[in-house]
Chains A and B, each alone.
Chain A
Amino acid sequence: MLNTFVVYVENKSGALARVALLFRRRGYNIESLTVGRTEKPDVSRMTITVEADADQARRIEANIYKLVNVLLVENVSAVPVITRDLAMIKVAAPQEVRSQVLELASVFRARVVDVALSSITIEITGAEDKIDGLLDVLRPFGVLEMVRTGIVAMRRGARTSEPNNEQTPDFIVE
């Protein structure tokens, strides 16, 4: 099953490499990894998705925890989360089909961010399957280039994943 981890790391040299290397070394394939700043200048936040069964996921969590620069790991796969991916899709759109492409974009609530003579560029934000859906219908027109950010995830509701100093990892053996 696809697992989503939220990881807070100290913003120190090599922190990203340490996390990424761990997945490679233990033989897990990262589906997507995003990293960016948080509201604290010295802390970065990663969202990592990886294919793993429950036991592997628990060990991934424990192994990430062992990294000295990691402040918090949370496996949010089993809790309600909002996930978002952003894609920019450059699609071939000569005069004859342009209106069709624009119509599809608006059905998916995607935005047109650039227009050229023979192509248009569409930006779409949403859960991964929504983006996959748009891609499927655009493909027949000719997708010239595509870029996706990879997913970011956040808990629904008031509860946060924010690290606080009292939290200790709870590794329960199922």
Chain B
Amino acid sequence: MRMTGAQILWRSLELEGVKHVFGYPGGTILPAYDALTQSTIHHVLVRHEQGATHMADGYARATGQVGVAVATSGPGATNMVTGIATAMMDSSPIVCITGQVGSKMLGSDAFQEIDITGVTLPITKHNYIVTRPEDIAKTIHEAFYVARSGRPGPVLVDITRDAQQASCEFEWDASVPKLPGFRPDIQPEPATYEEALKMINGSRRPVILAGHGILISEASQLLREFVERTHIPVAMTLLGIGSFPASHPLNLGMMGMHGEAWVNKAIQEADLLLALGMRFDDRVTGELAKYAPKAKKIHIEIDPAEINKRVKVDVALIGDLREVLPKLLPKVTRTDSSEWLERIWELKGDSAVRDIQSLPDEGHLYAAHVINDLWHETQGSDTIVVSDVGQHQMWEAQYYKHERPRSLVTSGGLGTMGFALPAAIGAKTARPDAEVWVVAGDGGFQMTMPELATIMQENLKINIAIINNGFLGMVRQWQQFFYESNYQSTPMLSPDFVKVAEAYGIRAMEVTTRSQVVPTVKAARSHDGPVLINFRVEQEDAVYPMVAAGAALHDMIRRPSPLVETAEDV
């Protein structure tokens, strides 16, 4: 059948299973928007193209399916850059479609011409420029394949205006694209299995480091079986949260810069680290030279370029966890780790008595309490928390106990403020039955606040918790610790968030004391439409413990008051 390039674009997306796209129109993408009217795909109109990319990203993280963002050329395309980089750093599969000036004008600095494939070269897994309608279907099919295969990532497809307008015969080849240079299916060397098994079965003080790869590979159940067989305790990276149930007795919690003290100490004392789908980011290792000095390291990872990048490992199994773990499972034995577990509980005991429950109430509202109460109220339900970047993000990771995969969506590698609100829109669009909570700081929330209008227009039931401390809190904390409390440019005036929300037709409430937290959360949950809660929390609270940049992982700044450190589930 003869179709225009624009029609082919939507038809191809439909054939890829796309139900929703997030976008913003403009001149060079107008032919595509004109053809959208005939498509079954629902278009979510965003308020800024950065939002569209974060929405596609949130959609992908909540489901594992490829998220799609659409923008016009020039400023529309450059507005996507932050969202593409965010998806790249966290291996999130998104496809971005941009309009481009007519192919005859390429290279002439035409109105709104930007070399977006050049701009995004280092922040996409791959990108394409398409100048003929004949190439659109094949390119879209390839883009989806590349985005989701192997280690996932963002792919950008730039389509010239004339390619959208011209017509050709539509052909769809659903088979796996032939990409001779693309090998997403690397397998470990057989010998490495034997080596790894010997190390695992012979270890006395092993720790599993569970990363984002477990979620991406849908290997949570396998991990659970592995742990139940071996009794090896699990520490999680920020993005690994949800890969292993928080309530499992062998789940230690989050590791790294704001990891629990006993988790970091356990890693430092371990004789074996089994790293699964993680990349030893500087935020989880602390000073490299002093990292886990007694441990042998096994790295199971799909991306060969991650092996020995930061931490030199003893054995690497390069492949998909979903294929590697089943080969190890029948051969691993229960490690003789009872002494080791006792040692860890001893380390934990030391911190766990200082529970946040004993934080003095006295009219103060602590962010940790807000998160802890939110967790209590929503536990057991199908809830996705989407956090922004800063102190609240770390408190969320520490005090919200995630039981299920994909129940936390957050920007880890890039640490993109402004991510949460749009990513939550993506998550809610993908999972309308899930309860979605945004947890954002007063700073990051304002970076993408206009997307409140998208919530309104789409009529999405999203609950928003602003952890409002009147500061760019995480930066203020660094100034407090490392710059002699010189609070340069971190105190921040904000609008009345309640009024702002109301202007968008969103119900809003304010909470200033602990006793109001639970009733307000209950009211928000039972309200039909979106709700925003402005939690006015302690202004100069800090996230503890903390590994300062350059310090060894066990060398942590602890909360000065002996009362409190971190959460024992209460």
Contact = CB atoms under 8 A, between A and B. Distances in A.
Nearest to B317: A173
A8 to B, nearest CB: 8
Number of contact residues on B: which range applies?
A: 20 to 34
B192 to A, nearest CB: 8
Given A168-B186, A173-B308, A21 B121 contact: yes
A131 interface: no
Contacts of B126: 67-68
Interface string A67-91: 1111110000000000000000000
Contacts of A70: 181
Nearest to B153: A66
A67 B186 CA distance: 15
A18 B123 CA distance: 11
Contacts of B181: 9-10, 67-72
Interface stretch (B40-48, B287-295, B299-307, B529-537): B299-307
A68 B121 contact: no
B118 A17 contact: yes
Contacts of B314: 173
A62 B309 CA distance: 11
B316 A62 contact: no
B352 interface: no
A69 B318 CA distance: 21
Interface string B308-328: 110011111010000000000
A173 B307 contact: yes
A18 B121 contact: yes
Nearest to A68: B126
Contacts of A130: none
B274 interface: no
Nearest to A63: B305
A169 B316 CA distance: 14
A111 interface: no
B219 to A, nearest CB: 21
A97 interface: no
Contacts, number: 64
Given A17-B118, A18-B121, A171-B318, A62 B313 contact: no
Nearest to A163: B180
Given A55-B308, A168-B186, A173-B313, A14 B180 contact: no
A58 B180 CA distance: 21
B360 interface: no
A169 B312 CA distance: 20
A59 B309 contact: yes
B121 A171 contact: no
Interface string A4-33: 000001100110011001000100000000
A62 B179 CA distance: 17
B189 interface: yes
B182 A68 contact: yes
A37 to B, nearest CB: 17
A8 B117 CA distance: 22
B175 to A, nearest CB: 16
B307 A14 contact: no
Interface string B2-21: 00000000000000000000
Given A55-B308, A63-B305, A168 B183 contact: yes
Given A68-B146, A173-B316, A62 B304 contact: yes
Contacts of B305: 59, 62-63, 65-66
Contacts of A62: 303-305, 307
B109 to A, nearest CB: 19
A165 interface: yes
A44 B318 CA distance: 28
A64 B189 CA distance: 20
Interface string B157-193: 0000000000000000000000111110011010000
B550 interface: no
B122 interface: yes
A107 B438 CA distance: 77
A68 B315 contact: no
B227 interface: no
Interface in B331-346: none
A172 interface: yes
Contacts of B307: 59, 62, 171, 173
Contact of A25 (B122, B189, B318): B122
A170 interface: yes
Interface string B124-145: 0110010000000000000000
A51 B313 CA distance: 23
A62 B303 CA distance: 8
A113 to B, nearest CB: 36
Given A59-B308, A173-B313, A66 B303 contact: yes
A101 to B, nearest CB: 45
Contacts of B309: 59
Nearest to A171: B304
Nearest to A12: B128
A59 B181 CA distance: 17
Contacts of B125: 68
A74 B121 CA distance: 23
B372 to A, nearest CB: 41
Given A68-B179, A71-B180, A170-B189, 6 more contacts: A17-B118, A25-B122, A65-B304, A67-B181, A68-B181, A171-B307
13 contacts: A10-B180, A14-B121, A21-B121, A65-B183, A65-B304, A66-B303, A67-B126, A67-B181, A68-B182, A69-B181, A168-B183, A169-B183, A171-B318
Give the top 10 A-B pairs by smallest Cβ distance, nearest first: A62-B305, A62-B304, A171-B304, A68-B126, A71-B181, A173-B316, A63-B305, A70-B181, A68-B182, A25-B122
